[in-house]
Amino acid sequence: MAKDLSCNVVIHKEEIEEGKSVYVAECEELSVSDFGDTPEEAIHHLREALKLLISVDPDKAEVLKKEENVMITRLYL
């Protein structure tokens, strides 16, 4: 994948069964997600999924050429 492609990634922990959880990494721009036992593994799997998607549908890469500055925070009420 070209270095000029990027996406915003949200990572969250999700319980899949009692006592077992995984980290889910999601590319916001393409609504693609993957998971792993650690945040790093989830990102690795997401990167591989995105590479595969772009190899099958190169037009999807156009969406990832636009770099957006995003600020994420948590709001407590």
Residue 70 lies in a domain: no
Q: What is the pLDDT of residues 33-67, one digit of tens each?
A: 999 999 999 999 999 999 999 999 999 999 998 77
Residue 2 lies in a domain: no
Can you tell me the distance from the alpha carbon of 61 to that of 53, in angstroms, rounded to the nearest whole number? 9
Average pLDDT, the chain: 91
Residue 13 lies in a domain: yes
- Residue-range definition of the domain harbouring residue 46: 9-65
Q: In the prediction, which pLDDT does 62 show?
A: 92
pTM over 0.75: yes
Rg (CA), the chain: 14
Split into its structural domains, the chain has a count of 1
Residue 77 lies in a domain: no
Residue 15 lies in a domain: yes
| Beta-bridge partner residues of 33 | 26
Can you tell me the distance from the alpha carbon of 44 to that of 42, in angstroms, rounded to the nearest whole number? 5
Residue 1 lies in a domain: no
Residue 22 lies in a domain: yes
